[in-house]
Structure 1
Amino acid sequence: MGHNASSNTLQSLSDRVFHHGADLATLNQDFAGAKPSEIMRFTTKNAQNPVVFTNFRPLAVAFLHLVTRAKPDIPVIWVDHGYNTPETYRHIENVVKLLELNLRTYSPKMSAAHYHAVHGGIPPLDTPEHDFFSRTVKLEPFNRAMQELQPDVWLNGIRHDQNAHRKNLDIFTQGNHGTIRVAPMFHLREIDVEEYVYENDLPDNDVYFDPTKGEEHRECGLLLEK
């Protein structure tokens, strides 16, 4: 790949691979045809404090399996907004045990029951009320996690075929909180991920609901944060 990594003990910006001044265009070009496992090996070798974000949506278990095979103890950030289906909560318990995840759960400062009592149910999409709802139940806990953990790399499972916004991203992109987002499965198709789940005999989550998206093709908001 043509990138000789500096030691992870070197802290100066010039010695680090992952920072907002990094040549991400060259990285994306070099790794465009790489396997997800190769991207993971490079990332874990060069990241100083990587974290994972997951919502345990359908097929997310493939990404979690891939990442934890490369770095078993990586912190896994999950925002429990309180609106998950019972099937999703049971799936999470199963996957945490199966993959021995280093799960870091962050919850909104206002519970789902509290929000419902004060503000009513989930607001209609594309309204100021829904923007407030999304900030309350997902963005604030996520930002709190990033501030507490101070990662240099944010690993996520996004793919180019999920929606129009993600199609224009890449494997290595600038993320919020000074991070570099790394998406090792970015160039895979949905069928590729389904095959990964099948070949590794992984449990999947088929009954999933994200109250901040409403529709499958919508962006949840985390990738739009600056």
Structure 2
Amino acid sequence: MTFEEIQARILTYQQAGKKLFTSSSFQSHSLVLLHILSRIDRSIPIYFLNTGYHFPETVAFVDEVTERFGLNTLRLNPIVPKHQQRDADGNLLFTSDPDYCCFLNKTQPMEEVLRNYDVWINGVRADQSLVRKAMKVEQPAPHNVLRFHPMLDWSIQEVFAYLREYDLPRHPLDAKGYASIGCEPCTKKPDPEMHEREARWYGMNKVECGLNTDLAKSA
């Protein structure tokens, strides 16, 4: 979708009285949607899932981008405290059950957010994974929420062209060779032949955290 198409769709939602929000990991490629929204309506809430496992560089970058774009950023914390996020042997869940770790730190708190909104503006792209390739521009989510995917047909080349055109900042870990940046324990630098998301949860047969599986219904 073009900027004009995204703007028109958002205006349509707002004119219908819909409550909108978006979520962001604040990676470099996430900044395109954030910048577009800052050009349309800076009051739209932007939720950053503050898992407690992010790289320090990511946490600082959230503040930098929020100030630069004038965003309405809200930090969303897990409902279950970290001392309760351990397996039977006392190990933190990311070491033994990354799916449940993602549920507690991402999916569960985001599901609570859904109860308060009508439209979730989500920046997934079809070229990121097979799960996302199967998605539609508009798709239902739990609690009668509509997921809106304005970036779905954007390629990574188009993303970086936009970043260059508007001289947007880059996540500081980009320069260190990271491609897809999530929680520090489950993110590694990709090998040259890897797809951008293959370095997430490396070796765990996992490419999604649950936000785009558990919180997305069939289109």
| Matching residue of 1:15 | none
Structure 2 contact 22–121 (Cα < 8 Å) conserved? yes
| Matching residue of 1:161 | 127
Distance 2:86 2:4 in 1: 42
Structure 1 contact 83–112 (Cα < 8 Å) conserved? no
- Is 1:175 the counterpart of 2:175 in the alignment? no
Amino acid corresponding to residue 50 of structure 2 in structure 1: D
| Moved >6 Å (runs of 4+) | none
- Is 1:218 the counterpart of 2:204 in the alignment? no
Structure 1 contact 63–185 (Cα < 8 Å) conserved? yes
The count of residues paired between Structure 1 and Structure 2 equals 188
Distance 1:146 1:100 in 2: 23
Identity among equivalent positions (%) equals 24
Distance 2:36 2:168 in 1: 11
| Matching residue of 2:12 | 45
The CA deviation at 1:151 is 1.2
Find the residue that maps to 2:212 and give its secondary structure. helix
The CA deviation at 1:39 is 2.3
Find the residue that maps to 1:123 and give its secondary structure. helix
| Matching residue of 1:133 | 101
Structure 2 contact 26–62 (Cα < 8 Å) conserved? yes
| Matching residue of 1:18 | none
The CA deviation at 1:179 is 1.2
The CA deviation at 1:52 is 0.6
> Mind listing any 5+ residue stretches in structure 1 that lack a counterpart?
1-33
Structure 1 contact 80–108 (Cα < 8 Å) conserved? yes
Q: Deviations over 1:51-75 (max 9, x none)?
A: 1111112311111001221111101
> Mind listing any 5+ residue stretches in structure 2 that lack a counterpart?
174-180, 187-199
Distance 2:69 2:155 in 1: 23
Distance 2:93 2:166 in 1: 37
Distance 1:110 1:57 in 2: 25
> TM-score, normalised to structure 2's length?
0.76
**Greater mean deviation of Cα atoms: 70-79 or 204-213:** 204-213
| Matching residue of 1:186 | 152
After superposition, the Cα gap between the structure-2 partners of 1:36 and 1:168, relative to the gap in structure 1 and judged at 3 Å, is farther
The CA deviation at 1:113 is 6.4
The CA deviation at 1:145 is 2.0
After superposition, the Cα gap between the structure-2 partners of 1:91 and 1:38, relative to the gap in structure 1 and judged at 3 Å, is same
Q: Deviations over 1:4-61 (max 9, x none)?
A: xxxxxxxxxxxxxxxxxxxxxxxxxxxxxx4143123222332411111111123111
Distance 1:165 1:184 in 2: 16
Structure 2 contact 99–209 (Cα < 8 Å) conserved? no
**Greater mean deviation of Cα atoms: 102-111 or 165-174:** 102-111
Cα RMSD (Å) of the superposition? 2.5
Distance 1:184 1:68 in 2: 14
Distance 2:79 2:90 in 1: 14
- Who wins on radius of gyration, i.e. which is larger? 1
After superposition, the Cα gap between the structure-2 partners of 1:223 and 1:206, relative to the gap in structure 1 and judged at 3 Å, is same
Structure 2 contact 85–93 (Cα < 8 Å) conserved? no
Structure 1 contact 163–217 (Cα < 8 Å) conserved? no
Structure 1 contact 36–185 (Cα < 8 Å) conserved? no
Matching of residues 11-160 of structure 1 within 5 Å? 34-47=1-14, 48-112=18-82, 115=85, 119-124=90-95, 129-147=97-115, 150-160=116-126
